[in-house]
Homo-oligomer: A and B are copies of this chain.
């Protein structure tokens, strides 16, 4: 018998990503986001949900572009910081000692020190409620050479992405390998 926890946004895992945008004056900004996920394969798209009150929301409406920056475990303090303060008051890049790089494909900055970044152009804006769901077409994915695995793709054990647990508000690492997809279930 399962226990009812009510209508709430509790699910596991959620990501701890950092969204990069420019404001109207060209100042780069960062914001932590856990409400997001891939939402289409062709064209490749990722969705990110934001409250209208955020600085990043205004930047996105203005610039129609953003980056999704995947931090490593060792950036967890900065990731948390980016979710606490607002870009209206603070230059978050400078405060965290990180370097903004202008994307060569979209009008948004990414974090040089983070191992994996997605560069996205907004192609849909869906009003849901408190949050607006921005669908970004992924125009390029960029990764540090140091995190690439043998197949040429980023290796999760090298990227060391961060997992966020809603409500209990904790960050966790990715753990052990469990198996190969489209393979281990063939002999069910």
Q: How far, in whole Å, are A186 and B80 apart by their CA atoms in the complex?
A: 8
The interface size bin for chain A is 35 or more
B129 touches A161 (CB 8 A): no
Residues from 34 to 53 in A contacting B, C-beta threshold 8 Å: 34-47, 49, 51
Since A9-B41, A171-B178 are in contact, a sample of 14 more A-B pairs with Cβ atoms closer than 8 Å, ordered by chain A residue number, is A5-B141, A11-B38, A11-B118, A12-B15, A35-B40, A38-B166, A39-B47, A39-B128, A40-B130, A76-B179, A80-B184, A128-B135, A163-B163, A170-B181
Q: Which residues of A come within 8 Å of B, CB atoms?
A: 1-15, 17, 34-47, 49, 51, 68, 70, 73, 76-84, 95-96, 116-118, 123-124, 126, 128-131, 133, 135, 137-145, 148-149, 151-156, 159, 161-186, 188
